[in-house]
Structure 1
């Protein structure tokens, strides 16, 4: 079973997902600060640049809450400080960090659950962004590794998408949960690659 690879990566059938790399997660002192996301930001930028260079479509997600009502009530119940602030629609905190700023032609999907597929247009966009039925692989980068990134990876797998999960281009709250997610993804839900390995795969195809 060692070195077994269930499928090969084809850049011409892939899209890049940049999950929730917004100011309220990445900036120092932010309400939902994830230092690992900030630390791995250079790797995310390398992947973003490579995908753009090789015409791999890029889709961003942002996690959005509202002042008017609790659009994600159980999330807020577990994290009560979000009742008053954080990831609010229309604020700077919900915007993607400048280092990864979406191009005007790139799509940003707002979501209200950890799983980026849940009640969003993500699946429809992925299945058509390169032409109907062409995309079969999603590359996942961003934050939080064991929350939104993992939830989205599992959901992609359930929809029969191949998952490339870039271990050093995701950011977790801590090393233990980050590594646990990488172990689970690599065994069951996808292929864990490093930034260097993914870029090599992109450049050789």
Structure 2
């Protein structure tokens, strides 16, 4: 559906969605084995993109008790996932932290978000932050493919960013849900590519002779 021009790494950003201790790792409170499996792919694209001059952004899904970021009461009934996860995704909770095996650098952007999409009701104006840096191309990685990753990718496309959804650096709870998210991404959001293909794009941008 989309034909993107050649990549300019300095106008690109990697958005890694919600790779937090509550979801990733052997001790995760809400374990997702597939999220742990994509950590090497995420670290590869992040390190290559950072070296090429791209912006690296890490979101943390957050639950707060007060203010405009608080979820509505109808989402917080006792048996809901929102209520069950609240204590573990509070900004001071250990589950809120990014998984320790990720390649997070001091210069990266780390921010909290309070809804599925990184572009809606987050602690920062991500769209404004990206535009200040001239970002035009966004690569989406992280978890869960068919929820926060897809929501972020869709909202990025609706803001006219060129979106690449990394098929092997995103993860859902099941293969079927992951495949559905990739289908949606390819059909109406942007381009679905592998981590290797994304790294190749950064390499070709750094050396046009390749």
Q: Which SS does the other structure have where 1:26 is aligned? A: coil
DSSP 3-state at the match of 2:22: helix
Name the count of aligned residue pairs.
Answer: 198
Supply the distance in 2 between the matched residues of 1:91 and 1:194 (Cα, whole angstroms): 33
Match of 2:186? 186
Aligned 8 A contact 1:15 1:137 in 2: yes
Deviations 1:152-184 (A, max 9, x none): 001001101110100100110111010001011
What is the CA–CA distance in structure 2 between the aligned matches of 1:165 and 1:81, rounded to whole Å?
30
- Alpha-carbon distance in structure 1 between the residues aligned to 2:199 and 2:182: 19
* Contiguous gaps of at least 5 residues in structure 1: none
1:41 aligns with 2:28: no
Tell me, what secondary structure is at the counterpart of 2:106? coil
Relative to structure 1, the CA distance from residue 76 to residue 86 in structure 2 (aligned partners, 3 Å threshold; closer, same or farther) is farther
Q: Give the Cα–Cα distance (whole angstroms) in 1 for the partners of residues 108 and 142 of structure 2.
A: 16
What runs of 5+ residues in structure 2 fail to find an aligned partner? 206-210
Does residue 141 of structure 2 align to residue 163 of structure 1?
A: no
How far apart in 2 are the matches of 1:152 and 1:106?
18
- Structure 2 Cα separation of the partners of residues 102 and 75 of structure 1: 32
The 5 A counterparts of 1:104-183 are: 104-120=106-122, 121-128=125-132, 130=133, 134-183=134-183
Distance in 1, matches of 2:61 and 2:82, equals: 16
1:94 aligns with 2:93: no
The more displaced of 105-114 and 25-34 is: 25-34
TM-score (norm 1): 0.89
User: Secondary structure of the equivalent of 2:88?
Assistant: coil
1:18 maps to 16
1:44-83 matches, within 5 Å, as 44-66=42-64, 71-73=70-72, 75-77=75-77, 78-79=80-81, 82=84
- Give deviations 1:32-57, integer Å, cap 9, x for gaps: 22211101111011011111211111
